[in-house]
Amino acid sequence: MVIFRVTGSLPCYIYDERATDKSTIGLDFLDMNRRIVIVVALGLLVTACSPGETAEPSTTTTEVPAPTTTLEAIVPLAMTSPSFNEGQVIPATFTCEGPNFNPQLDIVGLPDETVTLTIIVDDPDAPVGIWDHWVEYDIDAGGGGFTIPQAAGQIGIEGLNSWNLPGYGGPCPPEGEEHRYFFTVYVLNGDLGLPPEIDSAGVRTAMEGKIITQVVLMGTFAR
């Protein structure tokens, strides 16, 4: 007779000699459980010894989009002359003591909406008040740069200076005096529609509401 008892997780048996045969039943059952234990142990051993699957870290690359537009450098409005710098002496060539023609003026940074230019050159230090040396308007221009050449002659519509003459008349202060001369260019969004030989007062009135901006270059001269 075979008596089974469970100890822990494994069954065991007690053999009773009173049994008439050696009862292979208990032996077979024991052998089966041993096989189960061996299989389970091998499974655990394989699991423990096998390298686990290692998940590769996820990498995300963020591409920075290339700029679709290129901003052009903004050029500020400015006016210079190759003949004199701001606040410096105007060469005699451009005065009543020389050939008396206008100096070259180089303008950069004109806005895109520019249509015409007006130039007025005046002397605020004259004994009789402001004296106009050059009035010219409806000078065709556009955005970007523009050059008024030396000895330009007529480049737009000529107004009247304070000598009551059209065109340019250079600095000519009284002897012993140094005066300032302001070369002012007005940037307009249209034509003035004036006839020739209008004085500076009439031109200034016609420019009202049409001036986009303006730029000035000042030089001095003494006799």
Residues 212 and 113: beta-carbon distance below 8 Å? yes
Tokens representing 22 are 């050696």
pTM over 0.85: no
C-alpha atoms less than 13 angstroms from C-alpha of 84 in its C-beta half-sphere: 21
| Euclidean distance between the first and the last CA atom of the chain, given in angstroms as a whole number | 147
Tell the residue number behind the tokens 């340019």, with chain if given: 168
pLDDT tens-digit profile of 74-85? 789 999 999 999
Q: 134-173, pLDDT tens digit by residue?
A: 999 999 999 999 999 999 999 999 999 999 999 999 999 9
Choose the CATH number for 78-222 among 3.30.565.10, 3.30.420.40, 3.90.280.10, 3.40.190.170: 3.90.280.10
Which range has highest mean pLDDT (30-39, 60-69, 91-100)?
Answer: 91-100
Mean pLDDT of the chain: 81
Instruction: Outline which parts of the chain fall under CATH 3.90.280.10.
Output: 78-222
Per-residue model confidence as pLDDT tens digits over 101-118: 999 999 999 999 999 999
